[in-house]
Chains A and B, each alone.
Chain A
Amino acid sequence: MSGAALAADGLSRSFGSLRVADQVSFELPVGARYALIGPNGAGKTTLINLLTGILHPDAGRVFLDGAEVTGLDPDRRVKRGLARTFQINQLFPALTPLEAVTLAVCERMGLAGDWRRRLTSCRAAIAEAAELLAALRLTEDCNRPTAELAYGRQRLLEIALALAAKPKVLLLDEPAAGVPAAESAELFEVIAGLPADIAVLFIEHDMHLVFRFATRIIVLAAGRVLAEGTPAEIAEDPQVREVYLGGSKIRV
């Protein structure tokens, strides 16, 4: 398992008789830009929940940077460099983006449990939050309550919160979900511009975006890895076409 930033080894999970993850194995190398695709209900979000520790697998193991993290709580995995975003916004409606990202940076720096220090004395954390917001073009909106932000901006804030953890691995659960097509390309430009040493795995339904931004694609169907390969290989894979696209050829 060495060399991979993130690796799943035989992850399985059932809800009752429904097998939502079935012997899922893959490796995400350092600096990867992988897409995770599959029809609705294929178990994509479940897989992310298994990787991040929100769900516990019935069997299988998760490795982060070569070390097993299967038994670790979600927050401990974040501390080890595994961050994620959510398909449905999980933001802090009444906090401003600046406050929210400052909180996230404080968490990473291990300051957020400190009740003796003043928040205003955490200058490095505040400055870093402001830089991160600027990098994601959120400066203009950084002092309004998050709830008032346009939806597309909120999606960017989702990513900003994950990046504040300075992750080695970033799992993006449909980052452009609900974002108008014009804006989603912009959003993926931001993702493409992330530091090269971050391994990124993103779930995305729009095949144009997938083929444009992914170097490799993992196809999930009914909880199993159906195929894995370069975009060209996946486009030609008859099994993928059968299960995922109802037989029609993927047009890129």
Chain B
Amino acid sequence: MSADPQTIDPQRLIAEPLRWRWGEVVFWLTLLLPYWLAPTYLSLASQIAIAALFALSLDLILGYAGIISLGHAAFFGVGAYTAAVLVLRAHWLEPFSGLVISGLAAAVLGWLTSFLIVRVSKLALLMVTLGVGVLLAEAANRLSWLTGGNDGLHEIDVWPLLGRFTFDLYGRTAFFYALAVLFLMFLGARRLIQSPFGLSLRGLRENMRRMPALGAPIRHRQRVIYTIAAFYAGVAGALLTQTTQSVALEAVSFQRSAEILIMLVLGGTGRLYGGIVGAILFLVARDQLADMNPQYWFFWLGGLLVLVVLFLPGGIVGSVDRFWRWIARRR
């Protein structure tokens, strides 16, 4: 792949990895298929789209800025509860603006906690993120006048989408809604990664130590991306509330933080698509395996996780990527 010094076009070399590929177009079109092929699984498909958005959020900080989190559900939960409280208390029933407001609420928490996050790394970072997550979960439990506590909140009915599409029993509207939001937010993330800021995030991931020596204010960069990721997680949480018309403590639980990390690692970090692929794999597998034998689902999941981490560094998407490059080289 070495270039002839006479003919290199740096502009093209920079643009090349950023352009859309046919595989991506096919991938997104494939995500529409459940509507026709598996109409009884549309609610699962919506769950997948929401988890994918949440995993995308985690990928922004873990895969791009190198910030590992065990408490990312804090932002998901704030988004989910904000969306519920907006409807039940503030009687704000318009869904799209509800998503944005919920995302912003999570972003505020993200921005506030980002000051803690940038001060620590490694084990301390895990503990701080875990701590914030546990704190939020307990707060949601205690503030039952606002959150419904253990009972959660129900009958959260928003207006029909665009004033036309009501959330139907079959989950059709919810499916297209969740998928559309995922796609739009994916476009936003993709665009972010293609900016100079995105390149600096990749720099942070690749070598945090070098960045200050290039003149980069790394803590500021980390705070910005952490806040953006919190917004993404909040929107995902709000989507869950709006499409299921309810919210429970599970939205802010440690298990959710752990599962999303597993999904992202399975799919592969730092590629935007890893979270989506991981969410599909994880939730479809859980659905199928839990049907067969509920107790053993975690057994298989654990095995799969170990295998992927050991034999597929870069996760599934990373391995597919490597495979294609290997093919391309042999040609």
Contacts and interface: CB of A to CB of B under 8 A. Distances in A.
Nearest to B192: A115
A144 B14 CA distance: 12
Interface string B270-310: 00000000000000000000000000000000000000000
B196 A117 contact: yes
Most buried by B among A90, A96, A117: A90
A104 B14 CA distance: 14
Most buried by A among B202, B206, B215: B215
5 contacts: A92-B203, A92-B210, A93-B207, A95-B203, A119-B196
A123 interface: yes
A134 B196 CA distance: 22
Given A92-B202, A119-B14, A134-B5, A107 B216 contact: yes
Contacts of B214: 75, 78, 103-104, 107-108, 161, 164-165
A91 B207 CA distance: 7
A122 B196 contact: yes
B33 interface: no
A90 B209 contact: yes
Given A75-B218, A134-B5, A119 B198 contact: yes
Given A91-B207, A95-B202, A78 B212 contact: yes
A94 interface: yes
B2 A113 contact: no
B217 interface: yes
Contacts, number: 147
Interface string A44-55: 000000001010
B199 A119 contact: yes
Given A91-B210, A130-B10, A143-B1, A116 B216 contact: no
A103 B192 CA distance: 15
Interface of A: 52, 54, 73-75, 78-79, 83-84, 86, 90-96, 98-100, 102-104, 106-108, 111-120, 122-123, 125-127, 129-130, 134, 139-144, 161-162, 164-165
A83 B191 CA distance: 31
A162 B213 contact: yes
A108 to B, nearest CB: 6
Given A120-B18, A126-B14, A140-B2, A165 B196 contact: no
B244 interface: no
A90 B218 CA distance: 15
B213 A90 contact: yes
Contact of A139 (B3, B202, B206): B3
Most buried by B among A73, A103, A125: A103
A234 B40 CA distance: 84
A137 B330 CA distance: 28
Most buried by B among A107, A140, A161: A107
Contact of B194 (A79, A107, A118, A126): A118
B123 interface: no
Contact of A144 (B1, B18, B212): B1
Most buried by B among A73, A86, A130: A130
Contacts of B202: 92, 94-95, 99, 103
Contacts of A52: 213
Contact of B14 (A83, A120, A162): A120
A115 B195 contact: yes
Interface string B1-15: 111110010110111
Interface in B198-250: 198-200, 202-203, 206-207, 209-218, 220-221, 224
Contact of B210 (A102, A139, A140, A161): A161
Contacts of A92: 202-203, 206-207, 210
A165 B213 CA distance: 9
Nearest to A115: B197
Interface string B34-63: 000000000000000000000000000000
B52 to A, nearest CB: 22
Nearest to B11: A126
A143 B209 contact: no
